[in-house]
Amino acid sequence: MTIKPTLFSRSLIAISLSALLSACGADSSTQTKNATPPLIAPGAPGDLPTWAFSGKTGIGTSFEPYVTTTQHAGEYQDSVDNPVSRVWFSLAQGILTETMFGLIHNAQLKEAQFIVTGNGFIDTEKDNTITSIDYLYKDDQGRPLSLAYKVVNKDIEGKYQIEKHFFTDPDRDALMMKVMFTAFESGITPYLYLNPHVDNAGQTTLPL
């Protein structure tokens, strides 16, 4: 999301400069009497940041075997020859939710979803679609072979469909999201909305 700069009119700038010059020429008592409160944005500082829906339908990471050595028992062996992925992710309401990097309790992302626009409508993926979820890789008996997921979100009015595949790279600190967007009428455009919460903090980061 792009934050547009606020534009001020010439008259407002002129009034502000006039007030500033008048204050510079007045004595201290006049300045105190005529002082105006600082301008604060409406609604500041805004709502407190929140986390995504807690009813998770999927959690994922890359499988890494524990290695037992003479010094340690049962730990990851992270090296150049055997790199370890330090990414964990979660799914809820058909979208990517809290995603951790570095340590499993360090969330870097609140959610990522698509905002879809078309003729007379603006949809958010988690609110305006019907979701189905399944494991991406399964054996002949339907048991999952990895923590990789296929999520299909269908518009409640049948105008579009979003299919997403989620998995982590076992050798890199990377989360993969493969997206296949299908529009069933003209004029439909998807926009990716990303809401970061870097290092468990939401107040100091802006949605993208």
As separate numbers, helices (DSSP H) first and strands (DSSP E) second, the chain gives 2, 10
Nearest to 159 by CA among 112, 193, 125: 125
Higher-scoring residue by pLDDT: 62, 22: 62
Residue 152 lies inside a defined structural domain of this protein: yes
67 and 148 share one domain: yes
pLDDT at 74: 62
117 and 180 share one domain: yes
In whole angstroms, what is the distance from residue 183 CA to residue 155 CA? 10
**What are the φ and ψ backbone dihedral angles of 43, each rounded to 5 degrees?**
80, 5
Q: How many CB atoms lie within 10 A of CB 102?
A: 12
pTM of the full predicted structure? Answer: 0.71
Residue 51 lies inside a defined structural domain of this protein: no
Parent domain of 137: 58-200
Count how many Cα atoms sit within 13 Å of the Cα of residue 21 in the half-sphere of its side chain.
Answer: 6
Q: What's the mean pLDDT in 61-79?
A: 69
78 and 140 share one domain: yes
In whole angstroms, what is the distance from residue 106 CA to residue 208 CA? 20
21 and 98 share one domain: no
121 and 196 share one domain: yes
For residue 206, CA distances in Å to 3, 92, 143 come to 9, 21, 39
18 and 98 share one domain: no
Please determine, for residue 24, whether its predicted confidence score (pLDDT) is greater than 60: no
Residue 205 lies inside a defined structural domain of this protein: no
18 and 101 share one domain: no
- 102-120, pLDDT tens digit by residue? 888 899 999 999 999 999 9
Residue 44 lies inside a defined structural domain of this protein: no
181 and 137 share one domain: yes
CB 172 within 8 A of CB 83: yes
113 and 62 share one domain: yes
33 and 79 share one domain: no
133 and 176 share one domain: yes
Residue 50 lies inside a defined structural domain of this protein: no
Please determine, for residue 10, whether its predicted confidence score (pLDDT) is greater than 50: no
Residue 31 lies inside a defined structural domain of this protein: yes
Count how many Cα atoms sit within 13 Å of the Cα of residue 169 in the half-sphere of its side chain.
Answer: 11
Angle 128-134-138 from CA coordinates, rounded to 5°: 165
Residue 138 lies inside a defined structural domain of this protein: yes
Q: What's the mean pLDDT in 58-76?
A: 74
Q: What's the mean pLDDT in 66-75?
A: 66
| CATH number of the domain encompassing residue 73 | 2.70.98.10
- 152-179, pLDDT tens digit by residue? 999 999 999 999 999 999 888 999 999 9
Please determine, for residue 19, whether its predicted confidence score (pLDDT) is greater than 60: no
* Number of domains present in the structure of the chain: 2
73 and 106 share one domain: yes
Residue 135 lies inside a defined structural domain of this protein: yes
pLDDT at 196: 92
If you average pLDDT over each of 41-45, 51-55, 89-93, which comes out highest? 89-93
**What are the φ and ψ backbone dihedral angles of 32, each rounded to 5 degrees?**
-65, -40
pLDDT at 84: 80
β-pairing, 160-168 vs 149-155, is antiparallel
